[in-house]
Structure 1
Amino acid sequence: MKTFKTTLLTASIVSLLSLSQSGFAKQSTVDTMSSQLQVNYKVVDNHAANNGVDCSSLGADWGACNKATISLKNNGTEIRDKDWAIYFHDIRMILAVNNPQFKITQITGDLHKIEPTEKFISFPANSTIDIPIIGEYWQVSQSDIIPRWYVTSTDAEPKVIVNTDTEDLAAFVSPIGDQWKRTPEDHNILMTPVTRFDRNADIQTLDAQLLRGQILPTPTQLNVGKTDIVLGSQGVNLALIGLNSESMSVLTHQFKALNIPVTPNGYKINAKIDNTAFKDALSGAYQLSIDEKQATIIANDESGIFYAVESILSLIPANQKPVIATLNAQDAPRFAYRGIMADTGRNFKSKAVILRLLDQMAAYKLNKFHFHLSDDEGWRIEIPGLPELTDIGSQRCHDLTEQKCLLPQLGSGPDSDNMGSGFFTRQDYIDIVKYAKARFIEVIPEIDMPAHARAAIVSMEARYNRLMAEGKEQAANEFRLVDPTDTSNTTSVQFYNRQSYLNPCLDSSKRFVDKIIGEIAQMHIEAGQPISTWHFGGDEAKNIRLGAGYQDINAAEKVNWKGTIDQSIEDHPWAKSQACQTFISTGVVEDIEHLPSYFALEVSKMIKAHGINRMQAWQDGVKHAANAKAFAVDNVAVNFWDTLYWGGYDSASEWANKGYQVIISNPDYVYLDFPYEVSPYERGYYWGTRSNDERKIFSFAPNNLPQNAETSVDRDGNSFSVKGTMNWPGSYGLSAQLWSEIIRTDAQMEYMAYPRLIAVAERAWHQADWETPYQKDREFKLGSTEFVNQTQLLNDWIRFANLMGQRELTKLDLAGIDYRLPIPGAKFDGKQLVANIIYPGLTIEYSVDNGTVWTQYVKPVTLENNHSQILVRSKSLDGKRTSRVEAVK
């Protein structure tokens, strides 16, 4: 018996040691691979369909695919182990792998993994293995390639491959080079110093005296006097009768930030409210008179006082003698809704950067903060009673069961120590709403549904599993968001399965939504700003495989410019849910595709029951509702996000004529997650346009969409013709959008948002003289029609550009904003270097020794023609930051 026990104990110890050694071996493999392997990603051919690849048979949407090569260089000893996987993020579906040693599998969303096949031999020592792949669409920007590739193995801790653990994409991405065109017919102009110089050629530097008394955003009427007032050591005296103490504190802080004290003996700024002076004006209207003795403000409400003082602050230069011009101004906003949407779902953003955003919104008279708090990739607000939403739904890590976190997405890697993870506590959110309220900014929370709901669904499934394990079946089902009978085969826009769509046919889904609305509404009450508008979301509740870019493999007639797939196995979202089939059979909804709009109507009842009388949605989320009157609330606004050149000019009119308040949110003009310019080095998605620079946004006419065809080009750089064929009752507002799929950090967010947001504010507040009134059946086309006064537009832009370069960017420096510094334009003819910049006033520098020494450019300079290259960059006025460096060729 003793011998048996001894033998058994020995065997157990050996077994444990074996397991331990095995686990150690696997960790050793992970550690070795993550440190020794070096990734390189190279785009080879963005026009693969034109060069012999049958993209259609591979199932590529619209028959478009690209070739790329993943290179894995082993900088150490040979790696023979086969028990490993490399996980990586790719926003393009991978259609083929052309190295038999490896296979690539999509896990969910953008998460893929590379695994060895049975033909894998090894990663030889000090050598490189190439994995040629074919992916969907194209990759024309360096930011299409996502960082933080990581290695896993059985029972081992995942480790990020070192050279991909960076936001410097050049560390593992080869230059895009001549693959920057989306199609061979792409007529966009690649921005280089030379082409940028030509684009900036009509911008003149204005004397500072010509900018005296200029206010941004521009007032309705402005008469500038001849006298200047120096705000001396005693500063200003804010006698703002009718303004609340919180907003008074905001203004006091702004003056102090410009080194102007607020004292009883300072230059007096008087204000009072008298709404009889403002017939039919929107909230925020004011009259401002500045003379040698005092400034006088008459406003139609509190926000009018606030905005009038912001106009005075706009006049004061930063880091200079505090001088303002005498003037008289009459002013009122053109739109009631002047906003920005910030997405914190895809990648989290800190409370600090949100507060800085609210500061700048206030300075430029933007008044609506559309707070996107949830998406497939993350849930970002604490909800009492539903801890899983933040314990799991706000965190991303390598947990294949997704019982403790969501799987990694969008460059977050295997760990939750970056901006892929995070959430606003209940107190954080209350603080943000209070902060916004003091600045006359309405916070509009968005919990996106019924699509883009994966973070909530995974969280509630984890809650379900926990409570079922505790034997609490009724509680487990209380907020469950999926129908267990639903086996629908669907693919969302971001390549998630049916777990991306909250089921609109379940009472538990309605209970969940009601719970969320109620909890967030209570936070707003505690913050002193009861919710006025609830944003439903509603966008993209569809299966992309049933879209127009695909054709069925059994179709009688097929074309090579569509992806060929077996559409017989594809379902609309919820098509196989028994709960939803009951809805159809009993006539609750006419068709499965009407479910998102049905759910929007149901949610409007909940919103109304919580005392909220206004609803907002992305327009496609309510497309099957009869009109705005079908909803329980009194007003329904839609963020209109069709592109202009794909018919947006008439579809906007259609929504307005159905009674919706249309908020112009066109991707091709006011999406701030799109690139500034056509360059592979500019971050951003580009499905709607290749560039949205400040000048294009400034030139946007949001209340006459057809006009923009005379001042801009389509996605491929071509002119296009637009003729509005419907009556247009007018826009309710203008909103910029800042999605965060590839905006992973606060600094990246500010780079993308500023200074473009100031151009958005200008168009949201001020209607320019060069904007033409909408006229039904009037046709516009760049190079063919001449309805826009181009001289007025150019002069207005030159004024704005000089104000930015000579004044506003310094204020962003002072506020600690990481805005984008523009790259100069430059030419060198072999003898003389000439340079210019979009914002006159910024410092241009050049180097002839590869960046060792930089010299300030003031005027054309003669150089020897024996330099290997000439580099140019711009520098902020505070001297602390520089732009991207480019070579003059």
Structure 2
Amino acid sequence: MRKKAYLLLVLSWISLLPTRAQTQEIPASNLGLVPLPLEVKAYDGKFTLPAKIVIAAKTADEQNVAGFLKDYFTVLGKVATVTPDANQATVKLKIGALTSKNPEAYQLTVDQSGASITASAGPGLFYGAQTLMQLLPPTAQETIAVPYVRITDEPAFKWRGNMLDVARHFFPVAFVKKYIDYLAAYKINTFHWHLTDDQGWRVEIKKYPKLTQISAFRNESLVGAQQLMKKPEDYKYDGIPHGGFYTQEEIKDVVAYAQKRYITVVPEIEMPGHSVAILAAYPELACKPGPYQTRTLWGISDDIVCPSEETFQFFENVLAEVIPLFPGKYVHIGGDEAPKDRWRESNLVKGIMKKEKIKDVEKVQGWFNNRIEKFLLAKGKKLIGWDEILEGGISPKSTIMSWRGEKGGIEAARHGNEVVMSPASHLYLDYGQNPVPHSPVEPLMIGGYLPLEKVYSYNPLSSELTPAQHKYILGVQANLWTEYIPTPEKVEYMLFPRIMALAEVAWTPSAKKNYADFQQRLGQQFPRLDAKNIKYRVPEPAGLDSTKIVKQGDKATLTLTSIVPDAQIRYTLDGTMPNETADLYTKPLALPVNRNLKIRAITVTPKGRLSVPAEVVIP
């Protein structure tokens, strides 16, 4: 009997093993995962989902994550139920011990028995679920099969952030939640919410009702690119009032929404600069008598709050209402672009400098920040600010967000301060995506040039720092300023696909990054964006680059490619703008040289969306 039982056990075990063909390893890039996990083993076997899916979940975190999977299975046309019983479950979720102690780490396995995700905490379980969703198709299909995988994963950095500026243009709660969903899908765990600036105040403060009656609205907005305006007559306005604000209840709702997705919301309340909207409602806080109005121009204003006791009382009262709304560790105070012209002229500031023995007016901002920081620390919060706060001197407890390159972040890390790297050169997603400045084929934007590849190339760990100093680099953040981004559709255009490059910079160790491999995986993300109706920027065809032209005799050969699956490439040879009816590219183009031919080509997605044209002149 013992031999028979043993034989049955062996046969049962053998029946669960994949066949030799199924266990053959395949390239991880075939899975199309973004960001790339730390360790991936992919196999050519697949698990076919049953008509009814059972998700095993017991704890609060397991049940929370199960809810997201259940919703996704519903989108795929599957019926899913959640049960605490792991027996016969299709997907098993488990909070348990892992080799890694990182709460964002997870292990994901898909085999003959289904899928299982194990993590030591809720965040890791959630990220494992996001990876599983990327292994599933983006839309409903009659038969859905999930590839066999063994994934062990954890992030390279703690702070993986993205900032949305709602002060320059206000976005409703529904879109802010959608934005948070974008971050969650790519394992970005910090939402920096830029709530106040010269052009608008967006948070309800009950002690100061005029902030939402006056400061939350501006009379009109500038039309066109301000940086191109040289004469007074160039400045034209739309005559349309713009504004809005979030009630404290709405903010609580957004924060709770983010928490379910394991995203920390960091509020930014700008001080002492970028405060004209405050002065519009409370001009007594200025060094120079008003009146003021919420600013209609972009850029920097010389008018900032005066560092008076009334101003400190104002900000302490504001923060006393803001802090309970945001349970996260950090409060961002801005601190950037604060001209000191008004302070230099102020007798009050001169008195402060004499009393505090401050010889440089720039150092007064450091004194200002230190007072605010003491208030925040007493409330259990940490101060974070843009790298300008270094100029006035900072305490060892302050955190620096380095945006003017890496210099400020390097200096702060050498002093032992926490740092978030956020250089405009690589991570300002309001910058253009076309090498032609203010290109007529692109929507209006602030300028600059930040292609996908440059975002991807960024490494937050500067070689100027020692390995011991690298530990002060919390992570990386991209920023989306909205002076020229008034609609959700344009937010999506500027965000995608560059946010996916950011995700890999933040999650995947630099040594494992490879741009060609990333592009291959990225291509498999576009159908997912289409399924969610995200208005991403369609990548133009590759190959129209003077370095890619192969010349031989009197001919030049151009080979064009697109990373968008099943896309068409349409082109013209006479310099005209191609559209979906232009010549279809089917094979490399052999073209004559010495005729100054201007070739333009576009990508046409399966959904009929067009890229901007790529172009080259063959001399």
TM over 0.5: yes
Q: CA deviation at 1:426?
A: 2.9
Q: CA deviation at 1:588?
A: 5.9
Residues 582 and 459 (structure 1), Cα distance of their counterparts in 2 relative to 1, 3 Å cut: same
Match in the other structure for 2:265: 443
Residues 623 and 862 (structure 1), Cα distance of their counterparts in 2 relative to 1, 3 Å cut: closer
Residues 390 and 413 (structure 1), Cα distance of their counterparts in 2 relative to 1, 3 Å cut: farther
Match in the other structure for 1:414: 239
Match in the other structure for 2:402: 640
Match in the other structure for 1:285: 105
Is the 1:843–1:857 Cα contact (8 Å) retained in structure 2?
no
- Tell me which of 307, 311, 333 is aligned to 1:509: 311
CA distance in 2, matches of 1:215, 1:725: 32
Are 1:756 and 2:498 counterparts?
yes
Q: CA deviation at 1:758?
A: 0.8
Match in the other structure for 2:484: 742
CA distance in 2, matches of 1:673, 1:756: 11
Residues 258 and 803 (structure 1), Cα distance of their counterparts in 2 relative to 1, 3 Å cut: farther
CA distance in 1, matches of 2:350, 2:330: 32
1:623 aligned partner, one-letter code? E
Residues 660 and 326 (structure 1), Cα distance of their counterparts in 2 relative to 1, 3 Å cut: same
- Tell me which of 797, 800, 809 is aligned to 2:526: 809
Match in the other structure for 1:799: 517
Residues 664 and 291 (structure 1), Cα distance of their counterparts in 2 relative to 1, 3 Å cut: same
1:474-623 correspondence to structure 2 within 5 Å: 480-484=284-288, 497-499=301-303, 501-504=304-307, 506-524=308-326, 530-542=327-339, 572-587=341-356, 589-609=358-378, 611-623=379-391
Q: CA deviation at 1:271?
A: 2.2
Residues 663 and 816 (structure 1), Cα distance of their counterparts in 2 relative to 1, 3 Å cut: same
CA distance in 2, matches of 1:498, 1:861: 56
Q: CA deviation at 1:753?
A: 1.0
Per-residue CA shift, 1:272-310, capped at 9, x if unaligned?
Answer: 2224x344x432111222211032222111111111111
CA distance in 2, matches of 1:885, 1:668: 24
1:724-735 correspondence to structure 2 within 5 Å: 728-730=469-471, 731-735=473-477
2:131 aligned partner, one-letter code? S
1:571-720 correspondence to structure 2 within 5 Å: 572-587=341-356, 589-609=358-378, 611-629=379-397, 636-644=398-406, 648=407, 651-680=408-437, 681=439, 682=442, 683-686=444-447, 690-703=448-461, 705-706=462-463
CA distance in 2, matches of 1:821, 1:673: 16
1:218-229 correspondence to structure 2 within 5 Å: 218-229=36-47
Question: Which structure is larger by alpha-carbon Rg, 1 or 2?
Answer: 1
Are 1:337 and 2:148 counterparts?
no
- Tell me which of 594, 605, 608 is aligned to 1:876: 605
SS at structure 2 position matched to 1:229: strand
2:179 aligned partner, one-letter code? L
SS at structure 1 position matched to 2:344: coil
SS at structure 2 position matched to 1:836: coil
1:823 aligned partner, one-letter code? E
1:32-431 correspondence to structure 2 within 5 Å: 211-235=29-53, 237-239=55-57, 241-243=59-61, 245-263=63-81, 268-275=90-97, 277-279=98-100, 281-319=101-139, 322-397=144-219, 413-416=238-241, 420-431=242-253
Is the 1:823–1:837 Cα contact (8 Å) retained in structure 2?
no
CA distance in 1, matches of 2:193, 2:73: 28
Residues 451 and 872 (structure 1), Cα distance of their counterparts in 2 relative to 1, 3 Å cut: same
Is the 2:40–2:149 Cα contact (8 Å) retained in structure 1?
yes
Query: Which residues of structure 1 form unaligned runs of 5+?
Result: 1-207, 400-408, 462-479, 525-529, 544-571, 630-635, 707-722, 771-792
Q: CA deviation at 1:378?
A: 1.2
Q: CA deviation at 1:619?
A: 1.8
Is the 1:250–1:438 Cα contact (8 Å) retained in structure 2?
no
CA distance in 2, matches of 1:626, 1:852: 56
Is the 1:211–1:803 Cα contact (8 Å) retained in structure 2?
yes
CA distance in 2, matches of 1:261, 1:481: 59
CA distance in 2, matches of 1:486, 1:869: 56
Residues 367 and 725 (structure 1), Cα distance of their counterparts in 2 relative to 1, 3 Å cut: closer
Is the 1:698–1:762 Cα contact (8 Å) retained in structure 2?
yes
2:309 aligned partner, one-letter code? D
Residues 679 and 835 (structure 1), Cα distance of their counterparts in 2 relative to 1, 3 Å cut: farther
2:347 aligned partner, one-letter code? Q
SS at structure 1 position matched to 2:446: coil
Q: CA deviation at 1:333?
A: 1.2
Let me know the Cα RMSD of the aligned residues: 3.4
1:414 aligned partner, one-letter code? G
Per-residue CA shift, 1:377-408, capped at 9, x if unaligned?
Answer: 11112222323212222222169xxxxxxxxx
Is the 1:239–1:270 Cα contact (8 Å) retained in structure 2?
yes
CA distance in 2, matches of 1:290, 1:767: 24
Aligned residues: 553
Is the 2:433–2:451 Cα contact (8 Å) retained in structure 1?
yes
Is the 1:269–1:296 Cα contact (8 Å) retained in structure 2?
yes
Q: CA deviation at 1:436?
A: 0.7
Using the aligned pairs only, state the percent identity.
26
Residues 685 and 522 (structure 1), Cα distance of their counterparts in 2 relative to 1, 3 Å cut: same
Say which is worse superposed, 724-733 or 358-367, in terms of deviation: 724-733
Q: CA deviation at 1:574?
A: 0.9
1:452 aligned partner, one-letter code? H
CA distance in 1, matches of 2:591, 2:580: 17
CA distance in 1, matches of 2:50, 2:515: 33
CA distance in 2, matches of 1:334, 1:816: 30
Is the 2:384–2:400 Cα contact (8 Å) retained in structure 1?
yes
Query: Which residues of structure 2 form unaligned runs of 5+?
Result: 1-25, 222-233
- Tell me which of 564, 567, 572 is aligned to 1:843: 567
2:103 aligned partner, one-letter code? S
1:263 aligned partner, one-letter code? T
Q: CA deviation at 1:668?
A: 1.1
Residues 426 and 837 (structure 1), Cα distance of their counterparts in 2 relative to 1, 3 Å cut: farther
Is the 2:31–2:521 Cα contact (8 Å) retained in structure 1?
no
Residues 768 and 503 (structure 1), Cα distance of their counterparts in 2 relative to 1, 3 Å cut: same
CA distance in 1, matches of 2:122, 2:166: 30
Residues 698 and 362 (structure 1), Cα distance of their counterparts in 2 relative to 1, 3 Å cut: same
CA distance in 2, matches of 1:436, 1:847: 44
Say which is worse superposed, 247-256 or 829-838, in terms of deviation: 829-838
Residues 435 and 329 (structure 1), Cα distance of their counterparts in 2 relative to 1, 3 Å cut: same
Match in the other structure for 1:819: 536
